[in-house]
Amino acid sequence: MALVTRGQKFYFAAVGLLALWVGIWGYFFPSRVDTAIPWLVPPLHARFLGAIYFSAVVFTVGSILARYYAEVRLVVPVIAIWTGLLFVISLFYLGEFDYRRGPVWFWFGSYFLYPLIGLWFIWQDRSRHEMIPSPRVPPWGQRYLLIQGIVVTTLGFALLLTPDLMASVWPWKITRLLAQIYASPFLAYGLSSLVLSRQRTWLEVRVLVISAFALVCGVLLASVIHRGLFSFAGASAWLWFGGFLLATAMLGVLGVQSIRAGGSS
């Protein structure tokens, strides 16, 4: 059974530190979020991004603490998709960056290197097909992850490919740039949920399930804090809050069961 190597843990730590930096500024100091990212965005946007990046802290910490590589195999593609897409999207908005600022160069450097390193780990892992002895994920859990994967992946592609349309129906005001920036983590979590739905054991899904739970909790709290910016006259705000409430409940149950299963394996 392959173990998580020191080099892989160093990689997870580097990604986690960047995520923690963005998460802290975005969630707790939203008026100064441009300290960590290239743009200053309104507080709801900043806290939304902060919640997303805090979820990355959760899965990187979980990966560092994991013993077997099979526990974190899906975390590496999540990082590669997330950071790689952000780099590519940024190339289409080069005029939006102020190149006199340090966070801009850190943004491009990080999102260029992290996906390349992730792709290298994926290439090294191409011939491994190990399954950890662990209690099995029940069919209802797999079905929920499949449905979540379909919904979130569809949302991610819509944000990426039709940003103007999505900006017009989003629950709060967003720009074309932010719509496509949001597409990256949505696609990373959506595609990983599709793969998670096919995994058999709790230890194979635990890290990303707990991370997704942290994400939906953080987004839901940020949405409640800024609920005055939502218009409940239309369906989008109700779908937003209802969807995140449902995801919080379902992922909470899955997270608790995965922790119990890990302790008994």
Please, which pLDDT band fits residue 76 given cuts at 50, 70 and 90?
A: very high
Per-residue pLDDT of 23-43, as tens digits, reads: 999 999 999 999 999 999 999
Q: How many domains does the chain have?
A: 1
Residue 1 located in a structural domain: no
**Cβ contact 72:199 at 8 Å:** no
Report which of residues 67 and 151 the model is more confident about: 151
Residue 211 located in a structural domain: yes
Got the DSSP string for 43-58?
HHHHHHHHHHHHHHHH
**Cβ contact 158:165 at 8 Å:** yes
d(CA 56, CA 50): 10
Per-residue pLDDT of 105-149, as tens digits, reads: 999 999 999 999 999 999 988 766 666 677 889 999 999 999 999
User: Which alpha helices (H) appear in the chain, and where do they start and end?
Assistant: 6-28, 43-65, 75-91, 102-124, 139-161, 163-169, 176-196, 202-225, 235-264
pTM: 0.93
- Paired tokens of 141: 């859990």
Phi, psi of 68 (to 5 degrees): -100, 140
Domain that holds residue 251: 6-264
Residue 181 located in a structural domain: yes
Tell me whether residue 157 is exposed, middle or buried, using C-beta atoms within 10 angstroms of its C-beta: 0 to 12, 13 to 18, 19 or more. middle
Phi, psi of 25 (to 5 degrees): -65, -40
Residue 49 located in a structural domain: yes
Whether the per-residue pLDDT at 14 is higher than 70: the answer is yes
Whether the per-residue pLDDT at 265 is higher than 60: the answer is no
Got the DSSP string for 231-250?
-TTSHHHHHHHHHHHHHHHH
C-alpha distances (whole Å) from 104 to each of 22, 57, 90, 255 are 13, 21, 10, 36
Per-residue pLDDT of 141-180, as tens digits, reads: 999 999 999 999 999 999 999 999 999 999 989 999 999 9
Mean pLDDT taken over the chain = 93
Residue 174 located in a structural domain: yes
- Paired tokens of 173: 């005001």
d(CA 108, CA 204): 31
Instruction: Report the pLDDT value the prediction gives residue 129, as an integer from 0 to 100.
Output: 67
Residue 109 located in a structural domain: yes
Residue 113 located in a structural domain: yes
Nearest Cα neighbor of 118 from 66, 72, 69, 78 is 78
Instruction: Report the pLDDT value the prediction gives residue 200, as an integer from 0 to 100.
Output: 85
d(CA 110, CA 41): 20
Report which of residues 220 and 131 the model is more confident about: 220
